[in-house]
Amino acid sequence: MTTTIALAGKGGTGKTTISALLIRYLMEKNDGSILAIDADPATNLNMVLGLDIEGNVGDIREDMLDMVQTSGALAGSMPGGMSKQEYLDYQVQMAITEGDKVDLLAMGRPEGQGCYCAANQMLRVIIDRLGKQYDYVVIDNEAGMEHLSRRTTRDVDVLLLVTDPTQRGLITAQRMHEMVPGLEIGVGRTYLIINRVQGSESGDMGASGLPTPLAKAIEQSGLKLIGTVPEDPAMAEFEFSGRPLVELPADAAVYKAVNHIAQSIFESG
């Protein structure tokens, strides 16, 4: 049975960092296969995981659209006599980057003005079927919630709303939470993570240690805070040098905090 975890939040709040460290936790736990899906057009999850990518789903969709528009002969089938579904399935399989303990699929650019809706639906089916082959699927989303429904028809077991310790970020997370009932997919548990907390050295649950106005705002938002992640000087070296975050020391404050959050998600139920 696959457990699907999705991360969302305002741009620049550190969703990719949290995604990478959650994946590292699962890799170290070593009790199942992992598929990481980079659903942000910026496509940098591979960098923090230390993986290379050669293609993405967006390019596959656009290439197929170009072929269909330029050749009437392709109306019924694709090169090699494959159906469109088979062709897309093959291309997506080829786009997967296989790591030692995690595989990565990059979604790439969103649909353009020439949106090929039939291809989008086929891709959703393919990616959903692909996800069932793994024990864990971790989706690093672009800013916004509406993209989840366009990327997958799978239910999300755990939705993590990531924000920095600002009123704007928290309001964005709250609005995203309010959008959940209107999505075409089911969402199980929803949690809030406060990232880049100044002067905090732990990821303990609760609003203790947060500025009083922020703590009150979290309480009023109705969001369940599962943990905080401190601003960690150790991150600077990795970010500027491009070193993968999965190589962070085990005693780094940011990893210890995410590790604590992961334990709450996966071990405490």
Please list the pLDDT of the chain residue by residue as tens digits (269 residues).
899 999 999 888 999 999 999 999 999 998 899 999 998 888 899 999 999 988 898 888 888 877 777 765 455 566 677 888 888 899 999 999 999 999 999 988 766 554 546 677 787 888 889 999 999 999 998 876 766 766 666 789 999 999 999 888 899 999 999 988 888 888 999 999 999 998 644 444 444 567 788 888 898 888 999 999 999 988 888 888 889 998 999 999 999 999 999 999 988 65
What residues make up the domain containing 223?
A: 3-266
Q: How many domains does the chain have?
A: 1
* pLDDT computed for residue 96 by the predictor: 95
| Region label for 76, one of left (φ > 0), alpha (ψ between -120 and 50) or beta (otherwise) | alpha
pTM for the full predicted model: 0.89
Which residues contact residue 62 at a Cβ distance below 8 angstroms, ignoring those fewer than 6 apart? 109, 112
* pLDDT computed for residue 206 by the predictor: 44
Nearest-CA neighbor of 161 among 245, 246, 224?
A: 224
DSSP assignment, residue 73? G
Whole-number Å distance between alpha carbons of 105 and 53: 8
In 10 A of CB 155, how many CB atoms? 12
37 forms bridges with which residues in the sheet? 105, 139
CATH number at residue 10: 3.40.50.300
* pLDDT computed for residue 234 by the predictor: 85
Which residue blocks in 181-233 are alpha helix, DSSP H? 212-221
**Sign of torsion, CA 90 91 92 98?**
positive
Whole-number Å distance between alpha carbons of 126 and 97: 16
